Structure 1
Amino acid sequence: MANEVSVVVWSKEGCSYCNEVKEYLMEQNIAYKTVDVKDHDEFRDILDTKYGVRHVPVVEIGEGGVYKGVTEVGLEHLKAALQGVPV
């Protein structure tokens, strides 16, 4: 049985790059969950601990309990990370 892929978008309201990521995922029919970091510095602390960044968007793609984070801004980075992932 294949592992289910999970996609989490760390974002904040009003972020144009975040909206671009979400729109792309919707266009590709990729389900995702959102973590809104606005007014939540503790969430940015988590990003800093996990990936060494405090900015958004960060997209986490997980399969079988193992996640990788896309921290670079730009859809080309997300598209590359999604290649070969059965979403």
Structure 2
Amino acid sequence: MWRLRKFAKPYLPTALAVMVLIFLEVLATLKLPDLMSEIVDLGIAQGNIPLIWRTGGVMLLVAFLGICAAVASNFLGSRASTAFGRDMRKALFSR
């Protein structure tokens, strides 16, 4: 396991970026029910149409940012993992 560390070290910043992006994706996913309850409790129950539109727009923005974070984390994670595997294979077969 310790031998793999030298192959993983160049990809540590990418791995940290993937963790941050996944964290942002989860935050966005967890924020959506709060926004929906705000629409139901304050918008629909009180008939506040501007609040419904405004909160709906915020929901769209949060969902879009969550999707962007998910796509970016998958892209970076797959690139780092394939490069990690490539480096290990190169070291193994260059002997």
TM norm structure 2: 0.23
Q: Relative CO higher for 1 or 2, CA cutoff 8 Å, sep ≥ 6?
A: 2
Higher-helix-fraction structure: 2
Higher-strand-fraction structure: 1
TM norm structure 1: 0.24
Kindly name which structure, 1 or 2, has the bigger radius of gyration based on alpha carbons: 2
